[in-house]
Each structure stands twice: as structure tokens, then as C-alpha cells.
Amino acid sequence: LLLEPESTNLITYSEDFSQWVNTNSQNNVVSGLSLSGGDLYKLTEDSTNNVHETRLAVTASNQNYTFSIYLKSQARKFVSIKFANFLTSVFDLENGVCEDSNGIIESFGDGWYKCSISALCPDSLSRSYTIGLLDNSKQNSYQGDATSGVYIFGAQLEQLPYATSYIPTNGAIATRSAD
């Protein structure tokens, strides 16, 4: 039995990554492959020699927050998650390992991982939460091949110092009551 506190997903479109801003990448819909059985997106690098990432800005106050997202490798096994422009974790989606002590990775089977990172936001500004593709040397700037990337699903930002179970949103924040 999983008992969780009340929590709110502050990302208004948790499954619609067309709302995110891309740099040298694109988010393409892939039908029927998400953990919920619906559509998901593939974050795909372009062919430039540069960074390849997607990001979303959300305003956060001077509180503890956790950003989490479900990821699955599609020829890119390393990704970085940048939390509010100041804290970054690197995740290995092939071996299910977080490369540092800032993040947590949990297996959800079939190559899917829930990756999360928590921190205290130092002020009340709009902050970007970024998913970056990395090459096999874990470099964020590299020559892309226009096909490699990762599946992305279920983005969540909570005002808690840890991740809770997924709270889907579709145009507005959503709150799950305490168990």
C-alpha cells in the first residue's frame, strides 16, 4: 500500500511536449507507446554540432521542489536534467544509473525510467527545467545524427523534496489528494 501526501503537478501539460521550447532538437508524437497506453513524444536531436535539448519555464517560489519525468532510450543512453537553471544530474538510461548524488532513477520496466531531481529554489523567478541529450562521452554539445534521442513522458514539478506518483495534467495544474 502506497500512502502519499497531497501534491500538485505544476506543469500544465504533463504529456504534451509541443508546449516545450527546443534547442537543436524536436519533440515528435509517437502513437500508443506511453506508460498509460496513449501517445508519447520522442525528443530527437537534429544534425548540428551543438546542444540538443528541450525545456519548459515554470515559476517557483523559495521552496523545495522536485522535477520528475519518465524517459526511455532511443539510441541516446545518457541524458541530463537541469533543475531550475542551477542543478544538473546525468542519467544512464541503459544501465539505470544516476551519475551523481543530485538525482534519483527508478526502473518502470521495458527500458522506462522515472528520473527525478530535487532542490531548494533560491527565489521566486521563472525557472527552466531542461532535458538534454548527451553523447556517449556524456558531452552536451556534439554532432547530432537527426534520428537519435529518447522517449519522454509524464513531466511533473511538485513542491515537495521528493517525487510522488504521477499526476497527469492537460492544460491546468492538477492536485492529487492525500491517501
**Alpha-carbon span 18 to 34, nearest angstrom:** 16
Query: For 109-165, how does the pLDDT look when each residue is reduced to its tens digit (9 = 90+)?
Result: 999 999 999 998 877 778 889 999 999 999 999 999 999 999 999 999 999 999 999
Q: Write the CA distances from 146 to 30, 46, 95, integer angstroms.
A: 16, 4, 24
Q: What is the mean pLDDT of the chain?
A: 93
Whether residue 3 is predicted with pLDDT greater than 90 in this model: the reply is no
Percent of the residues in the chain that have a pLDDT greater than 90, as a whole number? 82
| Residue among 70, 88, 75 at smallest CA distance from 132 | 88
Q: Quick one: which of 55, 47, 67, 66 has its CA closest to 20?
A: 55
pLDDT of residue 122: 78
Q: Does the pLDDT of residue 39 top 90, yes or no?
A: no
pTM value?
0.95
Q: Which pLDDT belongs to residue 1?
A: 67
At 9 the pLDDT is 97
